[in-house]
Structure 1
Amino acid sequence: MRVYEIAVVDGDGIGPEVCQAALSVVKSLPGLDGAFAFKAYLAGAQEYRRSGSAYPEESFQGCRNADAILHGAAGLPGVTYPDGTETGIEFGLQTRFRLDLYANVRPIKLRPGVASRLRDRVPGDIDYVIIRENTEGLYAARGSGVVLRDETAVDSLVVTRKGVERISRFAFELARARNGAPRDGKKRVTLCDKANVLRSYAFFRKVFNEVAEQYPDVEADYAYADAMTCHLVERPEFYDVIVTENMFGDIISDLAAVTVGSMGMSPSAELGDRNGFFQAAHGSAPTIAGRNVANPYGTILSAAAMLRWLGERHQDGRLVRSAAAVEAAVDASMAAPGGLTMDLGGRATTRDVTQRVIDNLSRASAAA
């Protein structure tokens, strides 16, 4: 039986709590004894304080060579480089760029038991995926921007044909595999851009359209980024798959997460041709670290995405079935009385949620 090596980086703030919660769930899965080798690595703002490096080379090599990477959260207030940029985010950014994790997959789904911040929305109304191009765009300028004479600062927005082609194709292939938008069942890919203002985004749209022609069974749709912030509030049921540039994807996915409860409900997968990096999209929330109140659902769902990706990549049905089991256990936990955490209006603790999910997995296994 294959043993999958998982690089585990707890990170900062609530990172260790939510990461270890997800690991406890994975370790409890029936039928997977001995399937994983978990190896811990250091990275983040606390590591920068300790060693002077936010991402030691040993940690990078371990992450690069692992079958998958599971992360908690990173960053601490005031822990910055001399130029004022955060040290904690170095781990995520460098992992994306150095391992070419070009597709950031952020599912937005209203789950049972959660009250949407949008009036009258119920589970089934909101179910779409944001595909964020992860290695180009404005964030590609990280570390290479220019400050002239303390008077002018410049960062460049980078868009390449290769980058747009592969992220657009990824989005259309995902739409083909999904059930369509909740409103009308149509398989649809919406491009979010500012093609009316900047040539870089107009070029992104041009290449997107070339790829769209290869998918006549999937509807191509368009929305400017400013309008998209309205649409995700007013008509979220219209959307199936949304694809966008790096910074826009960062912004609209945070807004979208709040519509389905909170940032704690925002799993993500960052995928390349070889490597996969899995974490919740929320921050490190240092003000609640160590209080046992952090919402671990996003990280647990990210671990489920890791299982599915590994299972599909290696044709291992055990992992695909386990991913579905974890998602079902999360839904059952949230739908039951007392299953919501503080950020969702409930009182369940981090440990409460973890144990609920594990118990639901055990009950489902016994019933089967």
Structure 2
Amino acid sequence: MTTYTFALLPGDGIGVEVVAQARRVLDAAAELEGLEFRYDEIPCGAKYYLEHGADWPEGSRERCASADAILLGAIGWPAEDGSGTTRRADGRMAGWEAIVGNRAELELYANIRPVKLLPGIQHMISGTHRNVWAPEDVDMVFVRENSEDLYAGIGGVRKIAGRQEVAIDTRIITRTATERIMVTAFDIARRRAAVGRRRRVTCVVKDNVLLGCRLFVDVFHEIGQDYPEVEREVVLVDAFTQWLVRHPEKFDVVVAPNMFGDIITELASALQGGIGMASGCNIGDRHGMFEPIHGSAPPIAGQNRANPMATILAAAQALTWLSDKHSDPVLATAGGRIEAAVRSVVREGQTLTYDLVGTERASSTSEVTTAVIAALKADHAG
């Protein structure tokens, strides 16, 4: 039996809770499918920084690199002086190495975020729960360039008489990084077309103003010529935001530079029931890191209230990715059954957290996970 190793990066706040719940589901799936998982849990994040003066223990990057997949919880914690998030001495957010550092050092150049509305999920519109779209209207994949743009970390500040007067962030768009993200996007569109989805990639930019976006669009069309069966369209990011919430059914695969991709995927999560249902994959040629897109949520940390679904879905996506990487169909079966178990619990609507059903009907984090495991076992038995 092959053993697969997961590096677990629980991080801060509810990240610790949801990673623990995802591990419960992985263990249940492993037992049912005859798999063997090993876990290397690495403490990290802002709270770790406050205690130790470092984002994580020495050698943690190597431990992540040697794992078969990485499962990340959430990074970030309020600064003790109330000035915002805790920052390192160099000005970066505490816990930087576990999230942005891993993306850069492990060459996780593609951030892939599926946005799919599951039957039974209701949208939070103007403070009330009500359905707006049918599940078939919301089924798209966002492909965000993950290694450069404003996240390249190039820039600086200027102080005059001890007062900060200028802050500069330099945006970097390169042909090499753009080419590989475009290939990723068009490959996904081709695979989705094979199962009945529309053949279209939408490129979201601001090329009427920004030079980097013009290069991004040029490469988009160049790579697109190798996929003649896939439609191409370019949409300005400001226009895209309103089309996304008005007509989500029009979109299939969406590709964007790093910063725009970060913003529009957060908006898109509202279409699937909120960030508690939204997961993301950070993928490179050799490594993969999987995570919920929500933050550490300090106000509810330690209260057993957080929605574990996004992290459970991220774990399922890790299994599917590992299946492709290692040609192990059992992993794909396990990942598919975990996703089916989540769909079953959501469709029944009896065991969901407060963000989906409100406080009065809410179940706890651990109760939701228990329900997912029960559905997983029922699916396997049936």
Q: Report what 1:13 is aligned to.
A: 13
Letter in 2 for 1:25: V
Q: Distance in 1 between matches of 2:69 and 2:92?
A: 27
Map 1:169-318 to 2 at 5 A.
Answer: 169-179=183-193, 185-318=197-330
Q: Distance in 1 between matches of 2:46 and 2:348?
A: 37
Q: Report what 1:47 is aligned to.
A: 48
Q: CA deviation at 1:88?
A: 3.0
Q: CA deviation at 1:228?
A: 1.2
Q: The residue matched to 2:281 in structure 1 has which SS?
A: strand
Letter in 2 for 1:216: P
Q: Report what 2:83 is aligned to.
A: none
Per-residue CA shift, 1:171-199, capped at 9, x if unaligned?
000001114899xx421110001111011
Preserved contact between residue 9 and residue 42 of structure 2 (Cα < 8 Å): yes
Aligned pair partner of 1:145 in 151, 155, 167:
155
Q: Which moved more, 1:221-230 or 1:269-278?
A: 221-230
Letter in 2 for 1:364: D
Q: Which moved more, 1:79-88 or 1:64-73?
A: 79-88
| Structure-1-length-normalised TM-score | 0.95
Q: The residue matched to 2:339 in structure 1 has which SS?
A: helix
Structure 2: runs of 5+ lacking an equivalent: 80-85, 126-130
Per-residue CA shift, 1:126-170, capped at 9, x if unaligned?
0001111000111112xx421123222111111111100000000
Preserved contact between residue 130 and residue 243 of structure 1 (Cα < 8 Å): yes
- Shift of the 337–345 alpha-carbon distance from structure 1 to 2, 3 Å rule, reads closer
Q: CA deviation at 1:32?
A: 4.1
Q: Distance in 1 between matches of 2:256 and 2:208?
A: 15
Q: Report what 2:24 is aligned to.
A: 24
Q: Distance in 1 between matches of 2:134 and 2:330?
A: 31
Structure 1 moving runs of 4+ over 6 Å: none
Q: Which moved more, 1:103-112 or 1:145-154?
A: 145-154
Q: Which moved more, 1:85-94 or 1:199-208?
A: 85-94
Q: Distance in 2 between matches of 1:33 and 1:51?
A: 39
Q: Which moved more, 1:75-84 or 1:330-339?
A: 75-84
Structure 1: runs of 5+ lacking an equivalent: none
Q: Report what 1:359 is aligned to.
A: 374
Q: CA deviation at 1:222?
A: 1.2
Q: Distance in 1 between matches of 2:190 and 2:4?
A: 29
Q: The residue matched to 1:151 in structure 2 has which SS?
A: strand
Q: The residue matched to 2:291 in structure 1 has which SS?
A: strand
Q: Distance in 2 between matches of 1:66 and 1:181?
A: 31
Q: Distance in 2 between matches of 1:194 and 1:325?
A: 40
1:120 equivalent in alignment to 2:135? no
Q: Report what 2:94 is aligned to.
A: 87
Q: CA deviation at 1:85?
A: 3.8
Q: Distance in 2 between matches of 1:191 and 1:174?
A: 14
Letter in 2 for 1:253: T
Q: CA deviation at 1:64?
A: 1.0
Q: The residue matched to 2:222 in structure 1 has which SS?
A: helix
Q: Report what 1:56 is aligned to.
A: 57
Q: Distance in 2 between matches of 1:223 and 1:180?
A: 25
Preserved contact between residue 42 and residue 56 of structure 2 (Cα < 8 Å): no
Q: Distance in 2 between matches of 1:289 and 1:180?
A: 42
- Shift of the 65–98 alpha-carbon distance from structure 1 to 2, 3 Å rule, reads same
Q: Distance in 2 between matches of 1:127 and 1:276?
A: 23
Letter in 1 for 2:158: L
Aligned pair partner of 2:363 in 326, 332, 348:
348
Q: The residue matched to 1:81 in structure 2 has which SS?
A: coil
Q: Which moved more, 1:319-328 or 1:57-66?
A: 57-66
Q: CA deviation at 1:337?
A: 3.4
Q: CA deviation at 1:50?
A: 1.6
Q: Which moved more, 1:144-153 or 1:172-181?
A: 172-181
| Structure-2-length-normalised TM-score | 0.92
Percent of pairs with identical residues: 42
Q: CA deviation at 1:60?
A: 1.1
- Shift of the 181–122 alpha-carbon distance from structure 1 to 2, 3 Å rule, reads farther
Q: The residue matched to 1:10 in structure 2 has which SS?
A: strand
